[in-house]
Amino acid sequence: MNLLAIFVFGACQSPQRPSQQNANESKQKVQEIPSNITFFGGGRLKKMNMVSGKTDTIFISVHQTDSVLIKLRTPNDTANVRISQLFLPDGSADGPFGQQLTYRFKDIGQYHITVNENRMIGNHYSGPYEVQIVPIVQ
C-alpha cells in the first residue's frame, strides 16, 4: 500500500518537472543563438558601472552583417541611462536612442556606442548596468 502511495505521488509530481526543464532548456537555447556581432574581445554581455556625468564607450565587433537588439539593464528600471550614440566604421554617427536599440549592421568592422545619462531629464545616476547584444532571429 505504501508503495502504491509513493507511485501515485510520484506520478502526480512528474508533469511539473519536464515543463520546468523545458523552460530552462528554451532559455538556454535563446542564449546559444549564434551571432556575428559581439563586444570587442568577445561575448554578448558586458557589466559596466555608470558614474554620473561621465560617458562610457563600448566597442562592438561586426564580423558579418546581421541584426541585433542592444539592451541596457539597470537594477532599477527607471535609472537615467541611455545609448546616446552609435558610431559606424566610416565615422558617421546615429542617435540618440533610449535603453534599447534595434539595428541592422550592414558593414563589417568596429562600431562603438556611447552610454550616458539623458541630460534633458536631469536625474543623475551612478551605479551598475549591463549592456547585452541579443541576436534577432529572422
Q: Going edge to edge, which strands form the sheet with 45-50?
A: 45-50, 127-135, 66-73, 100-105
9-22: per-residue pLDDT in tens? Answer: 444 444 444 444 44
Share of the chain above pLDDT 70, in %: 74
Please report which confidence band the pLDDT of residue 119 belongs to, taking 50, 70 and 90 as the band edges: confident
Q: Are 119 and 108 in contact (CB under 8 A)?
A: no
66-89: per-residue pLDDT in tens? Answer: 999 999 999 987 788 999 999 999
User: Which residue has cell 556581432?
Assistant: 37
The HSE-up count of residue 84 (CA atoms within 13 Å, CB side) is 14
Sequence-distant (6+) residues with CB within 8 A of 42 are none
| Mean pLDDT for all residues in the chain | 80
Q: What is the pTM of this model?
A: 0.71
Mean pLDDT to the nearest integer, 87-112: 94
